[in-house]
Amino acid sequence: MANVLFLDIDGVLNSDFWNNNHKKEISNGTLIDKEKVKLLASLVKRTNAKIILHSGWRAWFDSELKPLRTEAERLTKFIENEGLHIDGVTPDLTTEEIRKTRKFSLVKADEILLWLKSHNDVTGWVVLDDLDLHNIQAAQHQVRPDPAVGLTDRDVEEAVRLLWNQHKKLKVALIQYNAAIPDIEQNTITAKKLIREASKNGADLVLFPECFLTAYAPPHICEKLLPVQEIENCPEFIKWYENALTEQDEHFIQIANLAAELKTGVIITGFSKGKKYPQNTAWVIDRDGKVILKYSKVHTCDFDWERYLESGASFPVCRFDGITIGCMICYDREYPESARELMLNGAELIMHPNCCGGMYPRLKELSVRAMENMVGIAMANPPAQGMGNSCAFNPMVWTQEGMDNTIFIGSELEETIYYVEFDIDEIRAYRKSEDLGKYRKTQAYKKLV
């Protein structure tokens, strides 16, 4: 059966706006907005999805899906005019109390999951419903139109992504480019150019090296490594903090807007404003230009000038294209707890902005972090002697092909964009079959916390 679309009707194929302006049609039994059916048709034709009705409207069809009421006849006619048809309905788990109170959303997710349990040939599924389904698993597959306006073009695009990204590879662009000068205007221009190129080449997600927009360059006063109390009131230090990025900064907004324009995810980096001092931060921006994760480097290099940065306090994760993603930055890699915490938080992939040399042993570290936590890892690093080597690793080490989990390692000096692909289905299947990290004996780890 492949792709399945669980379809609600009210609030999806009609809307408050349409209802208020079509009272005559409604009185004649027409409750469907033809324009919304056209949007539905575009979604079905792009994804080859089968339509499974999971609306209260299913009561208006018999067991052979023949309409029993005028409203159902009109719905059938409209969707057939677009070359569509209803392939089935979800089971009815409503009770008399639910029907009386009309709280159908309380069982909708259970009905969907029960239907899926009896159809093992489904490879991708999405739910179009304006209601809260009260279920985490269903919510991860749900597109929730605004009932005031019904189904929109943006809803269709989101549904397409949800369906195809349940069984496709994630293509990540690794930006191996040096933005060494703290010129945010020029670095933003460069970043936008690179994002456009990566998007044109089919990247789903564009990963930048550490502190790309602001450059990984502190004020000169920090290089003396004086106590922070002696420099925090110096004009140079104050300016560094004042110029740190926020999500309202015009340069950041340009990147977010471009992500939305190109429908391409971006992980952009830079010094950001902390509570008192700057932070070393990576933002994950989704295909709609929204920030879905902000991560600030936890393991700052306190042996050097990074001692003046505020450390991050956690390792959050987010969902991008249905994949759970987290970040760690540069020196975080040297602490196994970073990747382990991300794994425990559900990360399937770890994106790793970097800006350092000595990559030979550090590549081995990343390979091990991927293996021991059963996650994919991608790293972007600027080119220079002893640097570069932007790379990607799979978690899979016990395979027929051997025990090398390397996907790709770039050169040291080449200034370019590399592209790597993660097979998410393969990673998920491996995580189910293997046991690394599953049988931790936490009672013995007395010195870890």
CA distance 206 to 234: 36
Indicate the Cα dihedral angle 97, 98, 99, 100, nearest 10°: 50
Domain range 169-444, CATH class: alpha beta
Q: Residue 168: its pLDDT value, please?
A: 67
Q: Which pLDDT tens digit goes with each residue over 121-180?
A: 787 899 999 999 888 888 889 999 999 999 999 999 999 888 876 656 799 999 999 998
Q: Which pLDDT tens digit goes with each residue over 285-333?
A: 998 899 999 999 999 999 999 999 999 999 999 988 778 999 999 999 9
Contacts of 194 (CB under 8 A, 6+ apart): 173, 175, 177, 206, 208, 417
Q: Which pLDDT tens digit goes with each residue over 15-50?
A: 999 889 988 888 888 899 999 999 999 999 888 789
CA distance 196 to 322: 23
Strands of the 349-353 sheet, one edge to the other: 317-320, 323-327, 349-353, 376-380, 391-393, 406-409
- Axis-axis angle for helices 250-262, 184-200 (nearest 10): 10
Residue 206, φ and ψ in degrees, nearest 5: -110, 120
3-state secondary structure the chain: CEEEEEECCCCCCCCHHHHHHCHHHHHCCCCCCHHHHHHHHHHHHHHCCEEEECCHHHHHECCCCCECCHHHHHHHHHHHHCCCCEEEECCCCCCHHHHHHCCCHHHHHHHHHHHHHCCCCEEEEEEECCCCCCCHHHHCCEECCECCCECCHHHHHHHHHHHHCCCCEEEEEEEECCCCCCCHHHHHHHHHHHHHHHHHCCCCEEECCCCCCCCCCCCHHHHHCCCHHHHCCCHHHHHHHHCCECCCCHHHHHHHHHHHHHCCEEEEEEEEECCCCEEEEEEEECCCCCEEEEEECCCCCCCCHHHHCCCCCCCCEEEECCEEEEECCHHHHHCHHHHHHHHHCCCCEEEEECCCCCHHHHHHHHHHHHHHHCCEEEEECCCCCCCCCCEEECCCCCECCECCCEEEECCCCCCEEEEEEEEHHHHHHHHHHCCCCCCCCHHHCCCCC
Residues in the chain, overall count: 449
User: What is the average per-residue pLDDT within 77-95?
Assistant: 92
Q: Residue 166: its pLDDT value, please?
A: 62
Supply 295's token pair: 């991560």
CA distances 246 to 33, 261, 298, Å, are 42, 21, 18
Residue that is written with structure tokens 């698993």 in the block = 137
Kindly indicate the confidence band of residue 1, based on its pLDDT and cuts at 50, 70 and 90. Answer: very low
pLDDT top residue among 117 and 359 = 359
Cβ atoms of 329 and 408 within 8 Å: the answer is: no
CA distance 173 to 357: 21
pLDDT > 90 in the chain, percent = 73
Specify the CATH number for 2-164; select among 3.30.750, 3.30.60, 2.40.30, 3.40.50. 3.40.50
The mean of the pLDDT values for the chain is 92
Q: Residue 107: its pLDDT value, please?
A: 87
Cβ atoms of 241 and 203 within 8 Å: the answer is: no
CA distance 52 to 263: 28
* pTM score above 0.95: no
Question: Quick count: other Cβ atoms within 10 Å of Cβ 128?
Answer: 26
pLDDT top residue among 394 and 433 = 394
Domain residue limits, the chain: 2-164, 169-444
Kindly indicate the confidence band of residue 3, based on its pLDDT and cuts at 50, 70 and 90. Answer: confident
Q: Residue 56: its pLDDT value, please?
A: 87
Q: Which pLDDT tens digit goes with each residue over 227-239?
A: 999 999 999 999 9
